[in-house]
Amino acid sequence: MAPSPSPRELCRRYGLTPRRGIGQCFLDDPAVVEQIVARAAIRPTDRVVEIGPGLGVLTLPLAHRCRQVTAIELDSRLAGFLRTHLPTELGVAVVEADALRFDFTTLSDPPYRMVANLPYHITSPLLLHLLAQRACFTDLTVMVQKEVADRLLAAPGERDFGRLTLRVAFDAEVEPLLPVPAASF
């Protein structure tokens, strides 16, 4: 498999720029992508949902390791880019939709696995939305900003402990996997 162009190169080549207003930031570190995919322990029989696939940097390695990827992308420019540039034989279905409003129960034959770099400005409400539909997923491997990770991992009495901490802890077991430096985006 030939190395994929970097997100910076893809943006330059196709005139794409991250839309900060909807929380887009493109992961640009192949080593981090490989660590995420490895930590998610994706198997060939898995069906994966990815939220915010952007330029497909995570989508492509996921698709090479699993049976199917359903990529939920809000930005019509990027959804079109993915449909045009991802190899059709990889079994990636690009769904142009708002993940905060998406009904994951409409996906055929759940459960799925979730692997995603969540858009930072909707992380908390999106986590709650996903937990409300938790029967659709066996597990969630998601990248969140450090401040959200601190809240998710906070113990009672700590400054970051709050409503989100309690709500997530009620339905999920949170495990930190790896720190990702800002330079990786």
Could you list the mean pLDDT of each consecutive 10-residue stretch along the chain, which spans 185 residues? 71 77 78 93 97 93 96 94 90 95 95 92 94 96 93 96 94 90 80
Structural domain boundaries in the chain: 24-144
Please give the CATH number for the structural domain made up of 24-144.
Answer: 3.40.50.150
Per-residue pLDDT at 3: 60
- Position 13 scores a pLDDT of 81
Of residues 89, 46, 54, the one with CA closest to residue 71: 54
Handedness of CA 30, 113, 71, 172 (dihedral sign): negative
**Which residue matches tokens 């930031």?**
25
pLDDT of 185: 81
- Is 0.85 surpassed by the pTM of this model? yes
Q: What is the model's pLDDT at position 62?
A: 96
